[in-house]
Amino acid sequence: MSDFTRDTLGVKYANVPVGSLEDACQESTSHTLVLLLLRGNSNPHAKLERLARKAHGTSGENASKKCFETLAITEDRMEAFVGLLQRCIMDESWLYVSDCHLSEAFLKQLPHVVAFLKRNNLNSKFRLWLSTKPHEALPLSVLQNCIKLAYEEPKGIRRHMGNLYDEIGEARFKKSTAAMKQSSTNNAATTETHYKRLLFTMAFLHGLLLERNNFQQLGWIEPYQFVNNDFCLAESLVSYGLEKLLVKKAPDPRHQRGKGGRTNVSSPDVSLEDDFHGLDRGEDEPQHDATPWQFIKGAALELCYGGK
C-alpha cells in the first residue's frame, strides 16, 4: 500500500519514516520543516552543527558560525526568531530552534512559518530544524507537512564511542596529530600512537560511565550527568600534554663511567670491563617513555571525571 501511495500521489504522502539526521537532511529542502521529537535528555545540537558544516563544505569554528545558528525559544523571543529566520534565509545557513514545547504561542504560529518557507528558493541550502517534546499544542497541519524524526541519544558503549569520535571530528584529529609531529621530531610516530590509544581509552571510559546510568542506584550512588564537553576537555588536555609536556630522558649515570678516566686506571681488568661496557645496553636498558602520565592522570582524568 505504501508503494502504491508513493507511486500515485508522491513521496510526501507515503509518510516514509526517516531513520537518522543524515536521512532527514537528504530528504529535506528549503521549503521543508524538519521536526525532531526528543526522547529523554537528548540534544542534537552538536550533531546538527557538524552536519551543517558538512553540507556547506566548511570547517573550523568561525566557518561553522556562518552556516549554523541556534535559538532556544521562549514566549518572549518571537521577534528574535523572526529576525534570525530572515537572516538565515538570506545567508542560506541552517537554523536550529530548540525547546519548542516550552512556548505554546510559538507552536500555534508554526503554520505561518511553514507557509513562509514555501516562498524561499527551492535550491537554497537553508534548513529549519525544530526540536520539541511531544505536546498537544502541535498543529495537525504542521505534523502532516513536515519531516518528523524521533531523536534520542545512542545506546551502548560502541554507539557512544562513535558519537564521541564524531564530536572530535576528522579536522580536529588531524590538527592534533600534526602538532605532535612538529613538537616531537624524534618520537613523532610513538607520540601519535599514544594519542590514538589514549583517545580510544577515554572514549571507552566515557561510554562506560554513561552506560552505568542505566542501572540507576546500582551504577551510581548519586546520579551523574557526563556530557560530551567532558570528553572534549579531556581530549584537549591529552593533546596539550603530548604536544608540550613530553618527559625528557634523564641521563644514565652508567653512561658516564670511564669517560676521561681510562688513563688513570692501571688495572687491566677494569680497562677490559670499560671496553665491553655498553655492548648489551640496547637489550638491558628499557625504552624511554616520554608520555606525561602524571599530567594525564591529574588533569585529563581527575579534573574531567574524578571531580564529579
High-pLDDT (> 90) share of the chain, %: 18
Tell me the pLDDT tens digit for each residue of 12-68.
555 545 468 888 888 899 999 999 988 777 788 878 888 888 888 775 544 445 789
Q: What is the pLDDT of residue 270?
A: 46
Average pLDDT score over the chain:
78
- Look up residue 42 and give its amino acid: S
Scan for cell 513562509, then name that residue. Answer: 116
Q: State the greatest distance between any 2 C-alpha atoms of the chain, in Å, as a whole number.
A: 105
Lowest-confidence region among 54-68, 111-125, 154-168: 54-68
pLDDT of residue 75: 84
User: d(Cα 41, Cα 289) in Å, to the nearest integer?
Assistant: 42
Say whether pLDDT at 128 is over 90: yes
Q: Per-residue confidence at 252, pLDDT binned at 50, 70, 90?
A: low
Q: Where is pLDDT greater, at 84 or 41?
A: 84
Q: Where in the chain is the domain with CATH 3.40.50.300?
A: 1-151
Locate all alpha helices (DSSP H) within the chain, ordered by sequence: 2-9, 21-27, 45-56, 61-67, 78-91, 104-108, 110-117, 140-144, 157-168, 170-183, 188-212, 228-244, 268-276, 281-284, 293-295
pLDDT in tens, 256-300: 554 554 444 444 444 444 444 444 444 455 566 677 888 888 877
The amino acid at 196: K
| Fold of the domain built from segment(s) 1-151 | Rossmann fold (3.40.50)
Within 13 Å and on the Cβ side, how many CA atoms surround 222?
A: 2
Q: What is the separation of C-alpha 76 from the centre of its chain, rounded to a whole number of angstroms?
A: 32
pLDDT higher at 98 or 269: 98
Percent of the chain with pLDDT over 70: 73
C-alpha atoms less than 13 angstroms from C-alpha of 99 in its C-beta half-sphere: 10
